[in-house]
C-alpha cells in the first residue's frame, strides 16, 4: 500500500476538499428539483449544507492537529474533540429540522451524498499523489 501525505494540501488551503463535493452534488439537486420534487429538493439542499459544514469542521480539526505530529496524543485529543463538534452540529441541525416538521430523509441523503463525494475526491487526490510519487521514483 502506498503512503501519501495530504498535509501540504490541507495546510495550503482545503477549499478543493469542500468545493468539489458541493459542485458534484448540485446536478443531482437540480435534477430532483426539475423532476417536480421541490420539497425533497429543499430538504436535499439542507443536507448538502450540513455535509459541507461537517466537512469544514473536519478539515479545520485536521489543521489544528497538524502542529502536533511529534506529539500524536495531543493531535488525537484535538481530533476527538472535533469529532464531537461534528456529531453535535449535525445531530442538532437534524433534531431542529425534525421539530420543524421538515423532511429529514432528504437532508440525511444530502449529507450522505456529500460525504460519498468527499471520499471519491480524496481517492482521486490520493491516486494523483501516488502517480506523482511513482514518477519521482522512476527518475
Residue 5 has pLDDT above 70, yes or no: no
Look at residue 85 in the predicted model and tell me its pLDDT: 94
The mean per-residue pLDDT over the stretch 10-16 comes to 67
Q: Which residues contact 43 (CB under 8 A, 6 or more apart)?
A: 97, 102, 103, 104, 105, 106, 107, 110
Task: Please compute Rg for the chain using Cα positions.
Answer: 18
Query: Which of 13-17, 53-57, 108-112 has the least mean pLDDT?
Result: 13-17
**Using 50, 70 and 90 to split pLDDT, how confident is the model at 86?**
very high
More confident residue, 28 or 4: 28
Determine how many CB atoms are found less than 10 A away from the CB of residue 114.
23
> Mind listing the pLDDT tens digit for each residue in 119-136?
888 888 778 777 766 556
- CA dihedral over 121, 59, 112, 80, signed as positive or negative: positive
Determine how many CB atoms are found less than 10 A away from the CB of residue 81.
12
Residue 48 has pLDDT above 60, yes or no: yes
Q: What does the mean pLDDT of the chain come to?
A: 84
SS3 content of the chain, % helix, strand, coil (to 5): 85, 0, 15
Please give the Cα distance from 2 to 84 (Å, whole number).
30
Amino acid at each position: 500500500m502506498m503512503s501519501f501525505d495530504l498535509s501540504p494540501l490541507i495546510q495550503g488551503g482545503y477549499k478543493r476538499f469542500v468545493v468539489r463535493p458541493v459542485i458534484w452534488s448540485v446536478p443531482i439537486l437540480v435534477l430532483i428539483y426539475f423532476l417536480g420534487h421541490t420539497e425533497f429538493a429543499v430538504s436535499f439542499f439542507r443536507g448538502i449544507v450540513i455535509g459541507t459544514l461537517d466537512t469544514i469542521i473536519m478539515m479545520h480539526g485536521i489543521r489544528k492537529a497538524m502542529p502536533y505530529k511529534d506529539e500524536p496524543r495531543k493531535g488525537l485529543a484535538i481530533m476527538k474533540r472535533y469529532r464531537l463538534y461534528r456529531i453535535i452540529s449535525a445531530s442538532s441541525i437534524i433534531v431542529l429540522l425534525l421539530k420543524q416538521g421538515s423532511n429529514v430523509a432528504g437532508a440525511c441523503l444530502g449529507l450522505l451524498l456529500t460525504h460519498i463525494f468527499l471520499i471519491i475526491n480524496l481517492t482521486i487526490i490520493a491516486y494523483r499523489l501516488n502517480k506523482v510519487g511513482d514518477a519521482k521514483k522512476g527518475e
